[in-house]
Every structure is written in structure tokens, then in C-alpha cells.
Amino acid sequence: MTLTAETESDASQSAVAERVRKIREAQDTGVSRAEGWRRRGPLLPALIFMIAVTQVPFLFTLYYSTLSWNLVRPGSRQFVGINNYVAVVQDRQFWSVAGNTVILIVGVVLISALLGLGIALLLDRAFLGRGVVRTLLITPFLITPVAGALIWKTTILDPNNGILNWVLSLVGIGPVDWIGQFPLVMVMVELIWQWTPFMMLLILAGLTSMPRDQLEAGRVDGATAIQLFRELTLPHLRRFIELGVVLGAIYLVNTFDAIFMMTQGGPGVASANLPFYIYQRAFLGFDMGQAAAMGVVVVIFTMIIASFALRLIFKSFSGKEEAA
């Protein structure tokens, strides 16, 4: 009886193995067209939807960028070729805003990644109430960004009644108009507050997925904590940190809520980033042609940076799979 059972399970195993082998074969030589389409079938609705909703509008943006078109002057719409782009390149405010955007993204991503790393290391040890602390820590990521920015602007950073100035007054530092004097920095602080939990969660996942025996072996061998961290922990964490950086940057490119709520881009355009500046041009200035051209320029920049970033993610993933 045992023999029959074994042969049966052997038979079914080899049947599956046979199927897998056939698939791999077909893979290498190229799958039959029908099979290929059947594989891709479930993908199509999502693909078509995304193309329709994202690519089509962008094509329109390209078209608009070649027009001189201001919404408050109906009938003034006319083709002007690349005039809008020339104007954009010559617009000093545009470049200053572009600079703000880069500073904002790089600053927020780097600092929140570092902070996230530190906090994740703290949370990696067991202590009383660790779960509660983690719950407290993820809250800034959950709160509606406009609500969070509102709270920062009013109750914390207000020059007269804000908490920050009150705390500083206890050590004798006079009231500071934080948002007035350091608009971009304050927006960045709020964003760092919001995004550090995200980085922390990712890095914490990396820490908990790390095999402990290597660390134990290292400790027994007499390695210091810093050495252990640098040689063992950090390389393992690298892909988690990279993922956090890339995802964070993707979302931060579109940052709008904090600026809208805290500074309205001001004073002037000191704290405006590209999305806010384009928003101003389009919806407050009604200059669709110019705004469209700026949008295209932003897309070009983003694609250049994104192609590097995507290569990084895919390389990091496939590298890990090979190593594993």
C-alpha cells in the first residue's frame, strides 16, 4: 500500500514537474500567441484604464503647451509653437521654483530616511509598550495632509500663540515668525514629520526580516555594535531604504497640500514648488498655455530622474533574488 501511495504521489509530482518544464520550454522559445494573450488578458482592463486616464490627458497637455491660451480672454486661443517653452525657460521664477522643488524633495527624503532609520533601530529592541509607541509614530502618516499642515501652521508655528514659540520663550528665545521668515524650511519640517513614519515602517520591516544568527555570530566573535551595523545590518537594509527613498520621492514630487495650507507659496514664490507654481498659473492666472508648457518641462525632468530610479528598484530587486 505504501508503495502504491508513493508511486501515486511521485506520479502527480512528476506531472506537475512536467507541466512546469513545458512552461519553461515555451517560455524560452516564446509562448504561443493564444497562450500569450490569455496570460496578458487579465492585465488588459487595468492597462487600458491607465492609458486612457493618464496618457490621454498628457497628450492634451502637450497640445495645450503649443497654444497661447488664457481662459479669461476667450477666443484668444492660437497656435504659437514653442513660444511658451521659450517663455518658461526665460522665466526666472520658474527656475527658482524648480530649485525649491529639488531642495524640498532631497531634503525631506534624506532627513526623513535618516530619522526613520534611527527610530526603526530604536523600535527594533523590545521594550514596554513598543506596540503603543509604533501606533503613535505612524499617526503623522495617516493624518490628512491639509489637516496636519493646518495644525502646524496654527497651533504650533503661530508667532504669538504657537506652542513652539512658547517653549522657546521658556529658555529666553524671543518669538520667531517661523513661517514668515523660513517658509520653505517650515514646509519641509512638516513634510519630514509626515514622512518619517513611512520610512520607519519600511526600515523596520527590513530590520525584522534580518536573520539574527549572523548578528549573534558577529557578537560572539567580538565585533562592536557599530561594526555589526555597518557590515551586516546596513547592506541588508539597503534595498528597503532605497525603496523608501524612491517611493517617498515619487509622492513628494506632487507635494501640494502643505504649501497650499501653510504658505500659499509665499512670500512671493519663496516656498512654492513646481506643482503649486503651475497651479497658480493655471487656476489663479488662467494662463493655460504657459502652465501646460511648464507641466511638460516638469514631466521631462521627472522622467529623466525616474528612469534612473526605476532602474535602481529593478536592479535592487533582481539582485536580491539572485543573491537569495
Partner 1 sequence: MTTTAERATATDEAAPVHKKKSKKFSPWGIVAWLVGLGFFFPVFWMVLTSFKQESDAATNPPTLFFTPTLDQYSAVFDQGIGPAMLNSVFATGMSTILVLLLGVPAAFALSLRPVRKTSDALFFFMSTKMLPVVAAILPLYVIVSNLGLLDNIWALVVLYTSMNLPIAIWMMRSFFLEVPGELLEAASLDGASLWRSVREVILPLVSPGIAATALICVIFAWNEFFLAVNLTAVNAQTMPVYLVGFIAGEGQYWAVLSAAATMAALPVILCGWFAQNKLVRGLSFGAIK
Comparing CB distances to partner 1, the nearer of 184 and 259 is: 259
Q: How many residues bind partner 1 (CB under 8 A)?
A: 112
Q: Which of 228, 194, 199 is nearest to 211 (CA)?
A: 228
Comparing CB distances to partner 1, the nearer of 2 and 54 is: 54
The whole-angstrom separation of Cα 287 and Cα 279 is: 10
The whole-angstrom separation of Cα 163 and Cα 250 is: 32
Closest separation in Å from C-beta 232 to partner 1: 16
46 belongs to the binding site for partner 1 (CB under 8 A): yes
- Measured CA distances, 70 to 39, 62, 82, 275, 286 (Å): 47, 16, 16, 19, 6
Options 10, 303, 315, 319; binder of partner 1; rule CB under 8 A: 303
Per-residue string for binding with partner 1, 62-81, x by CB under 8 A? --x-----------------
223 belongs to the binding site for partner 1 (CB under 8 A): no
Q: Which of 75, 42, 8, 91 is nearest to 293 (CA)?
A: 91
| CB neighbour list of residue 261: distance below 8 Å, 6 or more residues apart | 145, 146, 149, 150, 153
Options 80, 111, 146, 232; binder of partner 1; rule CB under 8 A: 146
Selected range binding partner 1 among 73-81, 87-95, 103-111, 190-198, rule: CB under 8 A = 190-198
50 belongs to the binding site for partner 1 (CB under 8 A): yes
Selected range binding partner 1 among 76-84, 87-95, 104-112, 155-163, rule: CB under 8 A = 155-163
Neighbours of 315 (CB within 10 A): 12
Options 209, 234, 267, 319; binder of partner 1; rule CB under 8 A: 209
For residue 275, give the C-alpha cell.
Answer: 506643482
275 belongs to the binding site for partner 1 (CB under 8 A): yes
CB 269 within 8 A of CB 93: yes
Selected range binding partner 1 among 37-45, 77-85, 227-235, 264-272, rule: CB under 8 A = 37-45
Helix (H, G, I), strand (E, B) or coil at 143: coil
